[in-house]
A = this chain, B = another copy of it.
Amino acid sequence: MAGGRPRSFDSDAALDRALEVFWRQGYEGTGISDLTKAMGINNAPSLYNAFGNKEQLFRKVLDRYADGPARYIREAFDQPTARAAVETLLHGAADATTDPDHPRGCITVQGALACSPGAEAARDELTARRAAGETALRERLRRARSDGELPAGTDPDGLARYFTTIYQGIAVQAAGGASREHLHQIVDTAMTVWPRPADA
Q: Which A residues contact B (CB, under 8 angstroms)? A: 23-26, 28-31, 34, 103, 105, 107, 109-111, 113-117, 119, 127, 130-131, 158-159, 161-162, 164-173, 175-178, 182, 185-186, 189-190, 192-193
20 sample A-B contacts, Cβ–Cβ < 8 Å, listed by A number: A23-B114, A25-B114, A26-B28, A26-B115, A29-B114, A29-B116, A31-B116, A105-B113, A113-B113, A114-B175, A127-B177, A130-B172, A158-B182, A158-B189, A162-B186, A165-B170, A165-B173, A167-B169, A190-B193, A193-B193
Contact assessment for A164 and B173 in the assembled complex, using a CB-CB cutoff below 8 Å? yes
Count this chain's copies in the assembly: 2
Q: Distance (Å) between the CB of A183 and the closest chain B CB?
A: 8
Most buried by B among A34, A127, A165: A165
Contact assessment for A165 and B166 in the assembled complex, using a CB-CB cutoff below 8 Å? yes
Contact assessment for B162 and A189 in the assembled complex, using a CB-CB cutoff below 8 Å? yes
Contact assessment for B169 and A115 in the assembled complex, using a CB-CB cutoff below 8 Å? no
Residues of B within 8 A of A131 (CB): 176-177
Residues of B within 8 A of A169 (CB): 164-170, 172
Cα of A64 to Cα of B116 in the assembled complex, Å: 22
With known contacts A110-B114, A116-B25, A176-B127, A182–B170 Cβ distance under 8 A: no
Contact assessment for A168 and B161 in the assembled complex, using a CB-CB cutoff below 8 Å? no
